[in-house]
A and B are shown apart, each in its own frame.
Chain A
């Protein structure tokens, strides 16, 4: 395991894993979408619009899971000061923002026919919107601080502060009376959703998860390479200008 903390070994591992992950993600998403549109039954009340669930729910899960991945990377940054953890943090933020945005947009499209409104300010919707805003803030922080290691530490602290929002999202439907329904898959006493709908949902969730890991590995690889490029260009500039050489040594 420790062997892959070395960026070069990690790049080799990523190069081997990414095709498999991407292929598995494509397969799971293809099967999941087929099941969604041709096998899973329509809801007796909602009709075909229940199909939005197969995108909405996995996107919501991934939006939160991505934050937890980012939180563990943030611990890696603060405790071990490992550059790979910095790269994992930085790569996760735009992915999490994208999944959360998909969750918000599909939820809104589902809410219009079912609730009669695009948006309500209830606890679940608001806390997911706050999650999206935290992701945007983190991206802003990464873009503002020039020195990568310093940006990683600042982002790690903000990530750890913002993690309080995750249990709020999870339990918002239980703590407050919300228009959003409460949990029906991960709950005590087993899922309340029919197996004919549960299986396509779980396969879609698997596809989304594999997709996330494939994209995350690719983004980490890009981050490692762009850091090497940055270092090389500083060294190249230093060869021409002795003053820059002094700065690079610092």
Chain B
């Protein structure tokens, strides 16, 4: 990684930590979503432990996408996005770096919190490990797919909801194989590695393809 990208990565972390960055908001949202679900479904621990992986994945999906509409918005507002587009560093790598920083700030704490929240849902230790592993493998795909939506809606007045509408249908495969591998970890007919490897493949595909789409979307705003 060359030094401009390292500097960008550090800048993203500093902005999120500073006042007004709102870096921790995703995890808090995740916490609230998971703790609201038992009120909706009822406190039956057998049921909750069975659908626990699904609850955690849905909450992770929503809280990842919720923060993502801000990915390029602040940069579009203060003009630094135009500098990124004009700079000699490829825009695709800038997008990838911003996604990596965003993932570190929002997804990593969420993955750390997921097993603890899984305990409150009565999940088995094997299932907790499965959920954490599947989130670790799947959330990069969510962040990168979301970056496409963030690029498309950057600078729009009502971009937030539109971005979720555009991107949520595309996240279906990630959700399917994420929940499948999380459920397979706690026993079942499918071995854990089958859906898990597909999930890893989806993330790798997103890493390889999404930065190009997101960068093209950012360039499409101009000209």
Contacts and interface: CB of A to CB of B under 8 A. Distances in A.
Given A78-B216, A134-B169, 7 more contacts: A126-B172, A130-B169, A136-B165, A153-B220, A158-B152, A160-B213, A165-B170
B151 to A, nearest CB: 8
B213 A161 contact: yes
Given A136-B165, A140-B162, A144-B158, A161 B221 contact: no
A173 B139 CA distance: 28
Q: How large is the interface on B (under 10, 10 to 19, 20 to 34, 35 or more residues)?
A: 10 to 19
A150 B153 CA distance: 11
A154 B167 CA distance: 13
Contacts of B162: 137, 140-141, 144
Nearest to A137: B166
Given A153-B220, A157-B216, A161-B213, A141 B172 contact: no
Nearest to B173: A168
A239 interface: no
Contact of A154 (B169, B170, B217): B217
B91 to A, nearest CB: 13
Contacts of B217: 154, 157
B74 interface: no
A157 B166 contact: no
Q: Which of B153, B156, B158, B170 has the most CB of A within 10 A?
A: B170
Given A157-B216, A160-B213, A161-B213, A144 B169 contact: no
- Listed from nearest, the 6 A-B pairs whose CB atoms lie closest are A153-B220, A133-B169, A137-B166, A130-B169, A154-B152, A137-B165
A13 interface: no
Nearest to B149: A158
Interface of B: 148, 152-153, 156, 158-159, 162, 165-166, 168-170, 172-173, 213, 216-217, 220-221
A162 interface: yes
Contacts of A162: 169-170
Given A126-B172, A160-B213, A161-B148, A140 B166 contact: yes
A130 B166 CA distance: 11
Q: Which of B153, B156, B217, B220 has the most CB of A within 10 A?
A: B220
A74 to B, nearest CB: 11
B213 A137 contact: no
Contacts of B172: 126, 130
Given A133-B169, A161-B148, A154 B220 contact: yes
Nearest to A153: B220
Contact of A158 (B156, B166, B168, B173): B166
A31 interface: no
B143 to A, nearest CB: 15
